[in-house]
Amino acid sequence: MKHRLVVFGSCLLLAACSAGGTKTVTGASGPPQTTPSGQSIPLPTPPANATWSRDSGINNNPPNMSHDQYCENTYNNPYNGGWITICAGGKQDGSTGTWRFVQGAIWVETSTDPRQSGPESSPPQESAINEYNAPNSPTWVKIVSVTGDIANLQREDGSSLKFNLQTSQFS
């Protein structure tokens, strides 16, 4: 269990409470998030005794999950009273001796644990990770932004597509 947390922790840990409404996150270093009324939402400050924490926003330098599952970037944020992590990238095949992309995909993990940080004695429980193959994406996809339930993605060729987190479908 500890090994799985290490492998997927950076890419796919989840938690924290959704404020409701819609907001756009363009990246971890992007502009502050705002409510529909325009008020800034400060990011939570981890308590001094926190031994684990979760970052919010888009991370364009995520650790790789494995050779056959590659993350181009990830998104973490409060969602529906819990936490969501999306890894966007692609599946690779190494059967020819060289790793090559064969399918763009995203991996989505949602957790009911709303905490952004906490003590080692009480880390978030592992959650199911769902894989979705991106249509017409023979290589990889990446997250451009997330607004409400819609993840805006871009294929390697520059074309765009959307993934609806409520319906778990691409459009």
CA–CA distance, 108 with 169 (Å, rounded to integer): 12
Beta-ladder partners of 103: 91
| pLDDT tens by residue, 92-128 | 998 888 888 999 999 999 999 988 888 888 888 889 9
Whether 34 is covered by a domain: the verdict is no
Whether 142 is covered by a domain: the verdict is yes
Whether 48 is covered by a domain: the verdict is no
Whether 32 is covered by a domain: the verdict is no
pLDDT at residue 155 tops 90? yes
pLDDT at residue 32 in the model: 41
Q: Which of 12-26, 128-142, 155-169 has the lowest mean pLDDT?
A: 12-26
- Output b/e per residue, 146-165; b: 16+ Cβ within 10 A: beeebbebbbeeeeebebeb
Q: Which amino acid is at 72?
A: E
Greatest distance between any 2 Cα atoms in the chain: 54
DSSP designation for 7: H
| pLDDT tens by residue, 21-42 | 333 333 333 334 444 444 555 5
Residues across the chain: 171
pLDDT at residue 67 in the model: 72
Select from 137, 147, 145, 79 the least CA-distant residue to 113: 79
CA–CA distance, 157 with 138 (Å, rounded to integer): 10
Count of structural domains, the chain: 1
Whether 100 is covered by a domain: the verdict is yes
Whether 39 is covered by a domain: the verdict is no
> 3-class DSSP state for residue 82?
strand
pLDDT at residue 77 in the model: 95
Q: How many Cβ atoms are within 10 Å of 80's Cβ, its own excluded?
A: 15
Whether 41 is covered by a domain: the verdict is no
Whether 147 is covered by a domain: the verdict is yes
- CA-based torsion, 146, 41, 14, 57: positive or negative: positive
pLDDT at residue 51 in the model: 84
| The Cα angle at residue 154 between residues 151 and 156, in degrees rounded to 5 | 150
CA–CA distance, 161 with 17 (Å, rounded to integer): 27
DSSP designation for 2: H
Expressed as residue numbers, the domain containing 63 is 2-27+53-170
